[in-house]
Amino acid sequence: MPETAERRPASLGELFLAFTLLALQGFGGVIAVAQRELCERRSWLTADEFVQLLASAQVLPGPNVCNLSLMVGDRFFGWRGALAALGGMVCAPLVLMLALAWVLGEAAATGPAQGVVRGALHGIAAVAAGQIVGTVLRLAVSLKGHVLGATTGALLALTAFLLMTVLRLPLLWVLLGLGGGAWAVTYVMLRRRARPAEARA
pLDDT digits (tens, 9 = 90+) for 97-154: 888 778 777 766 666 666 676 777 677 766 666 766 776 776 677 677 778 887 888 8
**What pTM does this model have?**
0.62
Three-state secondary structure readout of the chain: CCCCCCCCCCCHHHHHHHHHHHHHHCCCCHHHHHHHHHHHHCCCCCHHHHHHHHHHHHHCCCCHHHHHHHHHHHHHHHHHHHHHHHHHHHHHHHHHHHHHHHHHHHHCCCHHHHHHHHHHHHHHHHHHHHHHHHHHHHHHHHHHHCCCHHHHHHHHHHHHHHHHHCCCCCHHHHHHHHHHHHHHHHHHHHHHHHHHHHHHC
Contact status, residue 37 vs residue 1, Cβ threshold 8 Å = no
From 87-96, 125-134, 190-199, the region with the lowest mean pLDDT = 125-134
> Mean pLDDT, to the nearest integer, of 53-60?
84
* pLDDT for position 149: 80
pLDDT digits (tens, 9 = 90+) for 59-69: 788 888 899 99
Is residue 177 pLDDT above 80, yes or no? Answer: yes
- Cα angle 92, 98, 99; round to 5: 90
Q: One-letter amino acid identity for 91?
A: C
Is residue 7 pLDDT above 80, yes or no? Answer: yes
How far, rounded to the nearest angstrom, does the alpha carbon of residue 136 sit from its chain's CA centroid?
10
